[in-house]
Amino acid sequence: MNINTISPKQLHNLFEAGNAIELIDVRTPVEYREVHVPFAMNVSLHELDAGKVAASRKTAAEPLYVICRSGSRGNQACEKLLAAGCNVVNVEGGTQAWDQAGLPVVRGKKTISLERQVRIAAGCLVLVGSALALLDIRFVGLAAFVGAGLVFAGVTDTCGMGMMLARMPWNRVTKESSANGAACAHSN
């Protein structure tokens, strides 16, 4: 499936020229709260209902722009939205590229990224499984299971551990903290 892309600078120029831009950010609410494009709306990938998004669009012919952290989840969202009949464009390099280009962002409460949480959890499970395997060899299966999960995540670009961690209480955003993040000042 060939997905159209746009650079952060090109999208910013379209917005600055007064074009009506519909941009969804498919990162988790916690990631969105930390830093996001001022005119982006948060619809996390694991909650994205492509059919509902397609049906609710006022101007179906106009492109729906998608952004994530670095482009990968945005690409997954674009595939779902394309299948639902949307005209979609993925923002190259995601929010990281937008921020690195010096374009305006909204900054809120800083958190440990989901990617780092996955590395910490996987590392702990492998370490514990390896240590316990010294007592009982059957525990080596824990380390092997985590290793297989990481290989699967790398090959499919889908991380089960990341999806589980995204649903944890510390990765949830209440309406109150979400409003506080949205009220933060714009910065370059």
Q: What is the mean pLDDT of each run of 10 residues along the chain (188 residues)?
A: 92 95 92 94 92 86 93 91 94 96 92 84 94 93 92 86 84 56 36
Output the six-digit token pair for 169.
Answer: 């209480």
Catalytic residues: 68
CA distances from 90 to 81, 83, 115, 116, 164 (A): 11, 15, 20, 24, 25
Query: Is the pTM above the cut of 0.85?
Result: no
**Measured distance CA(17)–CA(144) in Å, rounded:** 53
Please report the pLDDT score of residue 116 as a whole number. 86
DSSP 31-69: HHHHEE-TTEEE--GGG--HHHHHHH-S-TTSPEEEE-S
Please report the pLDDT score of residue 181 as a whole number. 40
**Measured distance CA(125)–CA(147) in Å, rounded:** 10
Please report the pLDDT score of residue 10 as a whole number. 97
Please report the pLDDT score of residue 123 as a whole number. 93
